[in-house]
Amino acid sequence: MIIQSKEMEQRALEQVAELMCAAARTAPKGRGIDNLVVMVVKGRTKDQLVEEMKKIAQASGAHFFERDAACLEKTQLAILMGQKVKPMGVQPCGYCGYANCKENTEKAGLCAIAVGDLGIALGSAVSAAALHHIDNRIMFTIGRAALNLDIFEEDVQIAYGIPLSVSGKSPFFDRG
C-alpha cells in the first residue's frame, strides 16, 4: 500500500487543527471563565470568508483584506477563534478604560481581561501549529469577515482567524 504525500499532509493539517483547538481551550482564562468559541472552517465556508474579505476590501479601500483573502484562498482550512466579551467583575480593574464593569456594560465596552484571554488562546494555538511545523498566521481580517457573516452563531464580539498550510513555501510571508 502507498499513501501519497498530499493525503498524509491533509490528515496532518486536520490533526494539528484539532490540537490547536485543544490548546486554545486549555489556555488560562481570567477567573476561570471560558467564553471562547473555536471552530475549523474549510470548503464552502472558507470560500465565503474569502469572498467577504474581498467585499470588505472593495467597500473600505483597506486592501490588506484583499491580500489576506488571497492568502486564505491558498490554504486548506482555517481556525476561527472568537470571544464572547463579558465583563469579568474583577475589582479594582479599570483596564477597559471605564470605572467599573457596570459602566463598561452601560457603554458597550469590551472587557480587557476577556480580550486578553482571546490573545492568550491564540498564542497557545499557534504554538501548537509551530511545534508541528504547520505554516500559520493570525489574521484579524478573517475574524472580521466571520463576524460579518455571523458564522459563530453566538454572541461573539471579537474574532480572529488562523489559516493553516502545508506547502513548499508559506503563503503567509512575502505577501506584497
For the stretch 105-152, pLDDT in tens is 999 999 999 999 999 999 999 999 999 999 999 999 999 999 999 999
pLDDT at 167 over 90: yes
pLDDT score at 90:
87
In a domain, 44, yes or no: yes
149: helix, strand or coil? coil
Nine-digit cell string for 18: 484539532
User: What's the pTM value of the predicted model, to 2 decimals?
Assistant: 0.94
pLDDT score at 91:
85
pLDDT at 176 over 70: no
In a domain, 10, yes or no: no
In a domain, 146, yes or no: yes
Nearest by Cα to 131 from 4, 12, 6, 8: 12
Question: In the structure, how many helices (H) and strands (E) does the chain have?
Answer: 6, 4
pLDDT at 174 over 80: no
The boundaries of the domain holding residue 141 are 34-82+112-165
Give Dmax over CA atoms of the chain in angstroms.
Answer: 66
147, 148, 153, 158 alpha-carbon torsion, rounded to 10°: 20
CATH value at residue 62: 3.40.109.10
Q: By the 8 A CB rule, do 67 and 171 touch?
A: no
In a domain, 15, yes or no: no
Cα separation, 90 vs 106, in Å, equals 16
In a domain, 88, yes or no: no
Which H helix or E strand runs over 26? helix 5-26
pLDDT score at 175:
63
Total domains, the chain = 1
In a domain, 53, yes or no: yes
In a domain, 124, yes or no: yes
1-5, 77-81, 109-113 — which one is most confidently predicted on average?
77-81
pLDDT score at 153:
81
In a domain, 22, yes or no: no
pLDDT at 88 over 80: yes
